[in-house]
Structure 1
Amino acid sequence: MKMCRIILGLLLIAGLGWAGQQVGAQTGGVTTLYLPLVGRGLPLPPPDEAASRLRVPPGFAIRIFAQNLPARPRFMAFGPDGWLYVSLMNSGQIARLPDRDADGLADAVEVVASDLYLPHGLEWHAGWLYVAEGDRVERLRDEDGNGSLETRKLVTDNIPPPVGHSSRTLHIGPDGKLYVSAGSSCNVCEEEDPRRAAILRFNLDGSIPADNPFAGDADPHRRPLWAWGLRNSVDFLWIPSGDLWADHNGSDGLGDDLPPEEIIIPVQRGAWYGWPYCYTPGVGRVSGLEVRDERLALPSGLNCAQAVPALFTASAHSAPLGMTLGAGTLFPPAYRQSLYVAYHGSWNTSPANYRDCKVERILLDDLGQPVSAEPFVDGFRAAGKPCGDTATWGRPADVIFGPEGAMYISDDKGMRVYRVIPTP
């Protein structure tokens, strides 16, 4: 029996390709080796509190990658060095979470930039880290090699100040242009600043692209406008076809069920998306025109038929934030054809309609269009409590994939970042 265990252990080591320190326990004169689980070449640390609390589908495992962060982690990006960078919005910092020994755990929390104004969206491009702040976009770089991003240059301050919805998100599109989302200043109102409740578009130096729909407008605040009527599109991305998708947080005040959250919005140049006068009805895969929100009178010449409706929606108050595609990852093929969205969950619904804080999987068909949704990671919410309650263990804010193929989830309630990998 002992010889069989030794042979089995050697086969496991050879088959998994793992080399490292062996940890053993001796019971009754027999030594049992505990080897780290490895999924598709990815290291998996021992079970922790996330493994016991959170639920993932069969064939996946979740662990805490980093914890005890000094402030709320929000959006993330992997740098050219291969390490994870995360915005700490309420402390004005950017942190690096390196895993230099490749064991699936962050080695440290290294603050690489400070004194930023509500940093949120991050994206690396040509050696610079572009940061969307409350009223500006800056780019940062480490020019002296000391590990800190000490060089800072203003890209643009043509961003509305952080009133109401204060997060700003940026991405660089396949056209090489800089896109920035800015939420509304209110729940339901008519904005005076056209840059609010909108997605803006700039050249990488902050100037206005000549093909923007209002590039020559007399009002300089209209010139960066790309699409509007988006109350709070906290994230957006481009799908393989080149189309731009955004999510959208609906308004409060119409009860537990209205308006639905718009999870996938096809963003088009110069288009209007309804807020504050109209919204897309229904939950799930939807088709049809937007309907009226009667709280504000429609301006003359405007009607809901002119608003571009969402392609896919979720229950009101789900609060979609970060989103990413599963294509090109090490996830099983069935899970790659999916959009993953971090739902922050509800804080103000009635107990019968609490919305979960979770990572939701939106299944896409062979044409890349949404068909249905299911939880991918849940278990954050305390029983009988809303996600905004102090008893809730965590609230996902962003979800991305790393260069090695693992999924990373930021949690701005538990001050953690999680890592999800497929297992054999």
Structure 2
Amino acid sequence: MPRQQTPGGVERCRARSTAAALTSLTALAAMSLVAGPAEAVAPGAGPCALTRTSAHHSLGLDTWNGDYPKPVRSLDAVMVFLSFPDAVPATTPQELTADYFPATSEFFERASYGKFRLVPHPQERWIRMPKPSGAYRIKRDWAPGDRAAYLRDAVAAADREVDFSRYDIVYFVADPDAPGVDSDATKVVNFDRPLRADGSDLRRIVTVFEKHPPDRNVLAHETGHVFDLPDLYHRPTDGKGDWDTYVGDWDVMGSQFGLAPDLFAWHKWKLGWLGPDQVDCVQGGTSLHTLQPLGQAAPRGAVGGTRLAVVRTGPNSAVAIEARGSAGNDEDTCAEGVLVYKVRNEAASGRGPIEVMDGHPDSEACWDRSVYPPLADAPLEVGEAYTVPGEPVRIEVADRTPSGAYTVKITT
């Protein structure tokens, strides 16, 4: 069948339908004041692994930033509930705990293929802050002085009942119904100099100001920052327009509302959840690769097959190819197929470190559910091929096996 070349580089064997509506949903930002030391990662990163740079939450993965806990074991997280003298909480700590757990732990258990376990330790009662909620002037772009006062008071109030030395992660959850609490202010605060409590350094705290019930997967997004993952959304300079133009639905670090929120395979490689035997480094010529869908669980005791193919395109850039299907964290995905994206190690959090390539640039999908319909149908299907704009990289989806894996031909 003759192929039709489209402006975005995709070749198709059949026409696709087009939906005509856009949805714009915002994700949440992290504040950072930290650049940390390096720790060597496991051998085998290979020539396709970008080096870690000074960019905030750099996606280089040749070394690990030792200021962040690496989620390759069980990590303990304390959840502290903060009330204010100007409001009587309408919910209980137990109700708020159920907003986030076990869902957040289950998200990471699936994403890590069982290699990481997030263990929550919710406190059983409210801890009262010394000032009314309005005194801290809580908002998204929080003044540093107000934010520091809030955190200083929260640590002092909680320290009477919480032994911070026992925990790897700290969540401060504010009374969602207090009049001065702004749900748009949820974020991770990193410190240039750690706070000290119970003889331990607190390098970052997740400050939660969500409504009850909260945004879906919001705590998974914020916890991703605790593991040195960047924001993947685009924040318009004037605060207007689409936030999701970089990655759409395809990673929780882009949007907690995404239909396919599993972490990109590149992120899983960085976090240590994918080993070198699950990453194919493509170094020229034409090669075939069998890619297991990212959300498909590995058989018990098995590695789980290749999950990522990478073409290094420069000292600071790479093209990544992975398969996505309706399994695991991606069970509500709008489309299945082979997803292609660019990675830049010098792009800071919120500055486009990952950009999904639109395999079908003249169509969109799931306009009633997607955070960004133009990218909802980005994956390539069997029989389709795509040439990455600006790069000598061509991806062709040749077949799909009975187990659901995709056979992909890559030419560089």
Q: Same fold by TM-score, threshold 0.5 exceeded?
A: no
Higher Cα Rg, which structure: 1
Q: If each structure's strand is expressed as a fraction of its own residues, which one has the higher value?
A: 1
Q: TM-score range by the shorter chain?
A: under 0.3
Bigger relative contact order (CA 8 A; separation at least 6)? 2
TM-score by length of 1: 0.24
Q: If each structure's helix is expressed as a fraction of its own residues, which one has the higher value?
A: 2
TM-score by length of 2: 0.25
